[in-house]
Structure 1
Amino acid sequence: MFIGEYQHSIDKKGRLIIPAKFREDLGESFILTKGLDNCLFVYPKDEWKVLEEKLKSLPLTRKDARAFVRFFFAGATECELDKQGRILIPSNLRQHCKLVKDAIIIGVSNRVEIWSKEEWILYNEDENLSYENIAEKMAELGI
């Protein structure tokens, strides 16, 4: 399980250090793809396979399902850590999440998310996404 929040800087070559706490659970190679909310999602291979099966089951006849599957798979790339614990983030993925210098890497249960520091701050300042508002909505759902 991935938990916690870490800050690292991306270097000029587009490399980012993955926190040591996440490296073992991610394994030797893992999948990096476009995420929702202007971030990147990082999945260990076993979690990626589970997600892949769910996405395969979406109805091909629905335009929105086809669009989501294209978005998700076209942006995906397999990553391996270098000896310093870094990954190379392709430029299209850096552009997707507006990642230029400072990154926030968070654990979200079965995946890791990579955010630009600026986007993470904006996300956390959103009134509709306050912890209290979300907790109320989850309580209404019985969670």
Structure 2
Amino acid sequence: VALPARFRERLVDGLIMTRGQEHCVSVFPLAEFSRQSVELAQASSTAARNRDYQRLLYSAADDPTPDKQGRVVINADLRRYAGLERDCVAVGSNTHFEIWDSTAWQAFLDDREPLFARMDSEVVPGLV
């Protein structure tokens, strides 16, 4: 997949691809993934749910190197997880971006976009 030009400059020092929420591929700048890994390491290792989350996140993590045209290969496990077969879309998400199957992304929008106007009070109370 060709990395979108608007994201490439943030990935020059390396990138990590791993499982994202809602069955997409999350792509992080290496420094951001490392920062979040430090935070995640603070989670209790005695809680099975925390261990499971970390296993699933890290076992899927891959660090592909883009070619000169800014393309990377998404490994077979991540492609299968995200249902990536042909058309996909890159979606910015603050500290990273996500790669979605285009049909799955449209279904997500159809389901969640009508709720967007009401989400702000839960997600960012007092900000908007």
Specify if TM > 0.5.
Answer: yes
SS at match of 1:130: helix
**Matches of 1:29 and 1:131, distance apart in 2:** 33
Q: 1:100 to 1:30 in 2, by over 3 A?
A: same
SS class of match (1:100): coil
Matched, 1:64 2:49: yes
Amino acid at match of 1:75: A
- Which stretches in structure 2 are left out of the alignment for 5+ residues? none
User: Where does 1:15-94 land on structure 2 (aligned, <5 Å)?
Assistant: 16-94=1-79
- Structure 2 match to 1:13: none
Residue among 93, 102, 106 paired with 1:121: 106
Structure 1 window deviating more from structure 2 (65-74 vs 26-35): it is: 26-35
Higher strand share: 1
Aligned-residue RMSD, C-alpha: 1.6
Select the structure that is richer in helix: 2
**Cα 1:59–1:26 shift into 2, 3 Å:** same
Deviations 1:62-98 (A, max 9, x none): 0100000001000100021112211000011001111
Greater mean deviation of Cα atoms: 130-139 or 17-26: 130-139
For residue 61 of structure 1, give the secondary structure of its aligned residue in structure 2. Answer: coil
TM-score normalized with structure 1 length: 0.82
Identical-residue share of aligned pairs (%): 28
Match of 1:142 in 2: 126
Where does residue 116 of structure 2 map in the other structure?
131
* Contact kept in structure 2, 1:28 and 1:80, CA below 8 Å: no
How far apart in 2 are the matches of 1:78 and 1:113? Answer: 15
CA contact (8 A) 1:33 1:42 kept: yes
